[in-house]
Amino acid sequence: MKLTTCLHTFKDTSWPYTSSKEINKIINSLRNKNSSGYDEITTKIIKISKPFIISPMINICNKMLAQGIYPERLKFSLIKPIYKSGAKSSPSNYRPISLLPAFSKIFEKVI
């Protein structure tokens, strides 16, 4: 089965640009977690590196809003099975969780 990507742009919408104050507030609101998406970057790492990444984040967010395109790589998630109860050998006793990259959470909150 071949997966195709459907790319929709929304150039007709006008979004207000984001600012360092908004990005700073969003990063501070993230919960400190050790879990990460496929990129292996946790929210703790983002909070520690905030002074160094805030300017590029503003640029990326504003470009994304201006072009109306959400980056494809930020749509990928890491699916992990979490054990519920019962026999551990039975697949029905697990539930899937999706681990998104922490950066996608920031971009989603900007939008």
Predicted confidence at residue 2, as pLDDT, reads 46
The string of pLDDT tens digits covering residues 90-109 is 999 999 999 999 999 999 99
User: Distance (Å, rounded) from C-alpha 91 to C-alpha 34?
Assistant: 26
Strand, coil or helix: what is 5?
A: coil
Is residue 13 very low, low, confident or very high in pLDDT (cuts 50, 70, 90)? low
